[in-house]
């Protein structure tokens, strides 16, 4: 499968002892280095674009557009390009007050969440369905931001972070970061169908295509394929197959850019990137690295009942030498199999 380099070698089965070897000695051996990220706002304040991008309200370019359109006010006065936010300032966007103080500089955290079917990627659902944010560990400052979406009937890898600038870079169309899905198709797929899906099909919102398609096993009328796309359009994978009158019976995202869904991470569980993995991801999107001490401290779960690491140290898709891991060349089995386990013991108090 096409994967953009450098590839992050996620080690989802790394033990606590291994994590300690990779992080703790460096902190103990030398005094904490100065942060490479911008310091907290001083008396002069911080640029509005930077603050709102960090909080995930919008990208810096979007905020600049809002400023030129007169949609932002500070203390009742229209914002001008170059204005800064200072302690005590009241900020409004489209007439609504923003609690911008919670977007202060803080260590970046990134979760890999295995979204199950039946959950929606939103903060509040008027239909009362379960939302993914209620399943995540609590965060003391700021908020979790989902990197893209998965529809209610799709499960799999969903990245979540508290760094809005990181989320924007991972989602922005100009980044062309590929997403890989395991999909089960009902019907006989021909070579002409594959060629057409890779060449492009006219949908209601424009031409779309798969950048890669690989057969991944199956029997009878059901076949498994791994497909990649570089767009985040709504329900794109399903719509492409349905345009050729195929039925998608199962759909699961297994990779987002350089990050794979860890084997053994059950539906509804999440894994937090350690300091090394976080540095690799920040480098991948060309953001400055954070100091090690902050990264190590941010790895401590704030809600242990909901942050779960995979159970075994046997990931067949870990990076081996140069190049990207390739899921399709391993066992031809149902990628949903690992999510069909019996429930474990109760979590939380009384465990």
Strands in 96-98's sheet, in edge-to-edge order, are: 77-78, 72-74, 91-93, 96-98
**Given the structure tokens 């850019």, which residue do they identify?**
257
For 112, phi then psi, to 5°, come to -100, 110
Cis peptide leading into 18, omega within 30 of 0?
no
Is 178 designated active site?
Answer: no
* Crossing angle of helices 275-284 and 16-29, rounded to 10°: 80
DSSP letter at 215?
A: E
Could you give the CA distance from residue 283 to residue 289 in angstroms, rounded to a whole number? 7
**Given the structure tokens 């370019």, which residue do they identify?**
61
Instruction: Collapse the DSSP code of 349 into the 3-class scheme (helix H, G, I; strand E, B; otherwise coil) and give the result.
Output: coil
Q: Contact 197/154 with Cβ under 8 angstroms?
A: no
Of 263, 343, 258, 347, which Cα lies nearest the Cα of 309? 263
Q: Could you tell me the two tokens for 99?
A: 């609690």
Three-state secondary structure readout of 261-323: CCCCCCCCCEEECCHHHHHHHHHHCCCCCCCHHHHHHHCCCCCCCCCCCCCCCCCCCCCCCCC
Q: Could you tell me the two tokens for 290?
A: 């954070």
Contacts of 177 (CB under 8 A, 6+ apart): 4, 170, 230, 256, 257
DSSP letter at 174?
A: G
DSSP letter at 348?
A: S
Which listed residue (83, 89, 151, 279) is catalytic?
Answer: 151
Catalytic residue list: 151
């Amino acid at each position: 499968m096409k994967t953009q380099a450098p590839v992050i070698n996620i080690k989802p089965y790394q033990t606590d002892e291994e994590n300690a070897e990779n992080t703790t000695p460096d902190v103990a051996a030398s005094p904490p280095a100065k942060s490479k990220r911008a310091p907290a706002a001083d008396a002069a304040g911080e640029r509005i674009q930077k603050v709102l991008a960090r909080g995930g309200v919008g990208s810096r370019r979007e905020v600049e557009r809002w400023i030129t359109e007169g949609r932002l006010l500070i203390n009742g006065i229209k914002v001008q390009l170059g204005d800064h936010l200072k302690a005590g300032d009241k900020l409004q966007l489209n007439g609504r007050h923003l609690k911008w103080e919670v977007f202060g500089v803080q260590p970046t955290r990134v979760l890999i969440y295995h979204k199950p079917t039946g959950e929606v990627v939103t903060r509040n659902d008027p239909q009362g369905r379960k939302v993914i944010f209620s399943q995540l560990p609590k965060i003391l400052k700021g908020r979790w931001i989902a990197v893209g979406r998965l529809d209610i009937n799709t499960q799999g890898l969903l990245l979540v972070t508290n760094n809005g600038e990181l989320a924007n870079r991972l989602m922005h169309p100009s980044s062309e970061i590929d997403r890989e899905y395991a999909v089960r198709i009902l019907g006989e797929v021909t070579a002409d169908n594959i060629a057409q899906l890779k060449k492009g099909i006219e949908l209601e919102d424009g031409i779309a295509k798969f950048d890669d398609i690989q057969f991944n096993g199956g029997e009878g009328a059901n076949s498994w394929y791994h497909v990649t796309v570089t767009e985040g359009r709504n329900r794109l994978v399903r719509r492409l197959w349905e345009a050729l009158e195929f039925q998608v019976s199962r759909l699961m995202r297994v990779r987002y850019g350089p990050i794979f869904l860890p084997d053994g991470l059950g539906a509804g569980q999440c894994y937090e990137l350690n300091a090394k993995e976080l540095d690799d991801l920040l480098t991948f999107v060309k953001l400055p690295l954070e100091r090690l001490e902050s990264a190590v401290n941010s790895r401590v779960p704030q809600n242990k009942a909901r942050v779960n690491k995979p159970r075994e140290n046997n990931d067949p898709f870990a990076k081996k030498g140069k190049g990207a891991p390739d899921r399709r060349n391993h066992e031809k089995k149902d990628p949903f199999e690992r999510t069909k386990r019996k429930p474990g013991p109760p979590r939380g108090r009384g465990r």
